Amino acid sequence: MRVYLEDRKALAYFGKSATPEFWDAHWDVENLRQRIVSCRTDALFIPLVLKYLPRSSRVLEGGCGLGGIVHALQFQGYRAIGIDFAEKTVARVREAAPELDVRFGDVRALPIDDHQLDGYISGGVIEHFLDGYEDIMREMFRTLRPNGFLFLSFPYMSLLRKMKARLGRYQTDNCVLMKALTDRFYQYALDGRDVARTFEETGFRRIETRSFDGIKGLKDEVNLLRHFLQKIYDGERFQAVRPYLDSVLKQFASHCMMLVFQKTDCS
């Protein structure tokens, strides 16, 4: 179920609450070590880290899940740290890949001293907290060194979602409904401009903006196309055409936004 919150300019998703227990169950996979060590790069974060940070930089992934990005960072020559609040998942990752520095912790109160990080990766994390991401953002700022880099992605209000909101295609907020759904909150699709402005007001300088996952963004919003696009999204035989289709669709229907920030030098 989705509800448009006019005060936040965000779309709230309700279903299973994104608790540590939810993620432990979601990430209970077989062949965990093989899954971790097979990750040597990705399509989003690793190229950006390589672009902005020299190898041997200290980079944290806040909300690291199964640790694939942490392994990819280490493989690429970075001093990588992963932190997640899904305690059983962290224990499984540490057992499967003891060479990785993966720790149990909360991104709202990181067990990291001030100004210790050269880079911070946050992929699909800030949207999962009902009360907002401000505590996470402050911890990002605190732990990054001056001129350090933040690589941030989240579901956002694409042009298509904004158009549907204006046309009243989503259920809108009311106090009774929201109170009933609170314990089923999963995530937000956030307003990208608001997120960028909030981080800039905190002391970050935005240096790059990207959108991605246009196929998912369209299939999730247009029921008539969902079955057809799901086949393209899932099917291996469509891998050759997917990048081209996504490059078109992401212009107006992308599911996620990527923002790259640099922490200002406060000295």
Pull the structure tokens for residue 87: 């305690």
Rounded Cα–Cα distance for residues 1 and 18 (Å)? 14
Top-confidence residue, 43 or 208: 208
Q: Is the pLDDT of residue 256 over 60?
A: yes
Amino acid at 246: D
Query: Angle at CA 80, nearest 5°, toward 44 and 28?
Result: 75
In this model, does residue 243 exceed pLDDT 80? Answer: yes
CA distances from 49 to 9, 80, 115, 145, 157 (A): 30, 12, 18, 15, 25
| CA separation for the pair 114, 134 (Å, rounded) | 17
What is the tens place of the pLDDT at every residue in 92-149? 999 999 999 999 999 999 999 999 999 999 999 999 999 999 999 999 999 999 999 9
What is the predicted pLDDT for the residue at 152? 98
266 pLDDT band (50/70/90 cuts)? Answer: low
Across the range 149-161, mean pLDDT stands at: 98
What integer is the mean pLDDT of 62-78? Answer: 97
List CB contacts of 267: < 8 A, sequence separation 6 or more.
146
Report d(CA 46, CA 75) in Å as an integer.
11
pLDDT in tens, 207-234: 999 999 999 999 999 999 998 898 888 8
> Greatest CA separation found in the chain?
55
Give the pLDDT of residue 124: 96
Q: What is the pTM assigned to this prediction?
A: 0.94
The three-state secondary structure class of 204 is strand
The predicted pLDDT at position 161 comes to 98
Sheet containing strand 102-104, strands side by side: 102-104, 79-84, 58-62, 117-123, 144-155, 256-263, 204-212
pLDDT of residue 208: 97
Please report which confidence band the pLDDT of residue 181 belongs to, taking 50, 70 and 90 as the band edges.
confident
Question: What percent of the chain is predicted at pLDDT more than 70?
Answer: 98
Of 149, 137, 116, which is closest to residue 50 (Cα–Cα)?
Answer: 149
Is the pLDDT confidence value at 80 over 90? yes
Does 265 have pLDDT greater than 80?
A: no
Say how far apart CA 253 and CA 34 lie, in whole Å: 34
Of 1, 147, 175, 139, which Cα lies nearest the Cα of 62?
A: 139
Can you tell me the mean pLDDT for 254-263? 98
Residue 32: predicted pLDDT: 96
Q: Which CATH number applies to 2-212+258-263: 3.40.50.150, 3.20.20.70, 3.40.225.10, 3.40.50.2300?
A: 3.40.50.150
d(CA 12, CA 256): 14
pLDDT classification of 176: cutoffs 50, 70, 90: low
pLDDT(56) > 70: yes
